[in-house]
Amino acid sequence: MKSELDKIRADATTALNAAADLAALEHASIKFLSRKGLVAGLFKLLGQADASERPALGQALNELKTDLEALEAARKLALTPKSKGPSLDWTLPGRTSWIGGYHPLTIVMREITDIFRSMGFRVADGPEIELVKYNFDMLNTPAWHPSRDESDTIYLANGFVVRTETSPVQVRTMEAQDPPVRIISPGRVYRRDRPDATHSPMFHQCEGLYVDKGVTMAELKGTLLAFYRELFGQQTKLRFRPHFFPFTEPSAEVDVTCPFCKGDGCRICKSTGWLEMGGCGMVDPNVLAGVGYDTELYTGFAFGLGIDRIAMLRFGINNIRLLFDSDVRFLRQFIGITPR
C-alpha cells in the first residue's frame, strides 16, 4: 500500500501541474481528489493493512490529501484570469460633485469678527460650562433676577451652569489683565427655550467690552454705529432706548434702520422702520471693582448682539431651526458665498 500511495502522489502531482486550463485542472481534481477518486480509494484500503502499520499509513494518507488540495488551490489561482477592474458604462450620465461652502452662521460670524478686529478689538474665548460665580455673581446679577431661575438657566452639579451669555469671558479677561481691555467674545450660549421659528435652546452671541481711562457712552454709540454701517450699509442709522441690564449702568437697547425697507416700514420691521439688534451700556462700577479695577480711574462699555438674528436678516431666513437642521437642500444655497 505504501508503494501505491507514492505512485498516486507522483501521478497526481504531475497531472495537476500539467493542467493547462481550469477544465483540465478540474478533470485531474475529480480523478484524484473527488469522493470516488484514487485518494479516497486508498482510505478504503486502509482497513486491510496490518494493525501495526495503520497509524503511519493513515498519517501519510492525510498528508497526501492535504498536499494535493493545496497544490490544486495554487494551480486554480494561477490559471484564473486576472480581473482588469470593473467595466465602465460610458453612456451613463455623470455624477455632480458638490463643492463645500461656508455655513451661514460662519459667514456672519467671520464678518462680525473682521469688522471689530479692524477697530482694534481682540477675539477672546472661554468655557461653555461655566461657574455660577462668573455667569451671574460677578456680572452684578442679583439673586432675584429672572435670568437665574431654573426655568431660564440650565444648572449643573457643583455650582456650574451651561453659560447663558458670553459675558463671563469678559470677566475672566479682566481678571487676567490690566486695562486697557478691548475684546469681543463670540460663541454659543444656552437657555431653557422651547424651539420654535424664532427661539432655540442653543444660539450664538457676540459680546464686546472696552475698558480704559475716560471711556464714554458717546464712544459706545460711535463704535456700534460704525459696526452696523459696515454690516448693513452707510445709510444705517442707530438709536438707543433706555433699558436695564445688571451688567451695565446706564443701559440701552440698540435699534438700527431696517436694512430691507431703509426705514420706510415693512413686514420685517412691523412697519416701524427699526429693528432691535441687542443691548449695551456702560459697565457697572460693581463689575469693575469685582475684578480689582480702580473705578475712579477706569470706565468701560459693553454690548451684545445675536449672531443668529443677523444671519436670518442677512439671508432672509424665517425659521431659526433651519440653521441647525443640517439640511443639505438648505445649506446648498450658500455655496459660493464668502464673508465680505
Domain ranges of the chain: 2-79, 104-334
Walk along the chain (340 residues) and give the pLDDT tens digit of each residue. Answer: 677 778 888 888 898 889 888 888 899 888 888 888 888 887 777 767 677 777 787 788 888 888 888 988 898 888 887 766 667 778 888 887 777 889 999 999 999 999 999 999 999 999 999 999 999 999 999 888 888 998 889 999 888 999 999 999 999 999 999 999 999 999 999 998 888 887 889 999 999 999 999 999 999 999 999 999 998 889 899 999 999 999 999 999 999 998 888 888 888 788 888 989 999 999 999 999 999 999 999 999 999 999 998 998 888 888 899 999 888 889 888 888 887 7
Residue 194's CB is within 10 A of a number of other CB atoms, namely 7
Contacts of 125 (CB under 8 A, 6+ apart): 169, 185, 187
Angle (CA) 46 48 54, round 5°: 50
| Cβ–Cβ under 8 Å, residues 300 and 217 | no
Q: Specify the CATH class of 104-334 in words.
A: alpha beta
| Paired strand residues for 300 | 211
| Cβ–Cβ under 8 Å, residues 9 and 33 | no
Residue 291's CB is within 10 A of a number of other CB atoms, namely 18
User: Rounded to an integer, what distance in angstroms lies between the CA atom of residue 131 and that of residue 154?
Assistant: 12
pTM for this model (two decimals): 0.69
Q: Which runs of E-coded beta strand occur in 287-327? A: 299-306
